[in-house]
Amino acid sequence: MTQPAILVTGASSGIGLAIAQALLEAGHPVIGFSRSAPKGLGPQFTHMPVDLTDPLALEKALSDLPALSGVVHAAGLLRVGPHDSFDHADGARMWQLHVDTAARLIGALAPRLPDGGRIVLIGSRVARGAPGRALYAASKAALSGLTRSVAAELAPRSVTVNIVAPGATDTPMLRDPQRASEAPKLPPIGRMVRPREVAATVAFLLSPDAGAITGQEIVICGGASL
């Protein structure tokens, strides 16, 4: 019998790519949703090009999926700026990608997951609030209510739903020129969080040993929230 795959959004770079690599190394088939295809992930990886902010394209891609054992929504967008100059178009894009896409993935795929299936959403430590990041924080904070509500609904099927919330992580998004006015702060451990550290936590939440963890937010911040 073919082993069910794990879907990873945003698999072409950053945290999503690290998650895909970690899962492949652990022997899981992985399906990656992203606009561009990552290279060198091997035959157990299947790339499906899709614009996650296009509801019709996403619906079509979801309908074409084979059996899954888990879902990871790692695709993200970061736009920064102070409260007196909000870019509401950017805010809407972040909400659509972080919250609306997560809801669509859960709505379409949770009923198709086997009992004991896994869902992990990538949040952010910034969800608790940070200067210059209000709209980004709002979109990530909304994931908490979504996650806890869906986790309560799916608990009788032993389908877990959790958030992994990294702090400043060494990814291309962290170095995006569009956030130059709001530079990231180095965590107390003296370095940025590594994508592989986030991926390892996600991989654990997808494992059988994490079956009693659901509706939770696990923060990986190098001490920045202390």
Query: Average pLDDT, stretch 72-83?
Result: 95
Return mean pLDDT, the chain.
93
Set out the domains of the chain in order of their start, with CATH numbers: 5-220 (3.40.50.720)
Neighbour count for residue 14 (Cβ, 10 Å): 21
- Reply yes or no on whether 49 is catalytic: no
pLDDT tens by residue, 20-46: 999 999 999 999 999 999 999 999 999
Give the active site residue among 33, 45, 95, 136.
136
Q: Is the pTM of this model over 0.85?
A: yes
Q: What is the 3-state secondary structure (H, E, C) of 75-119?
A: CCCCCCCCHHHCCHHHHHHHHHHHHHHHHHHHHHHHHHCCCCCEE
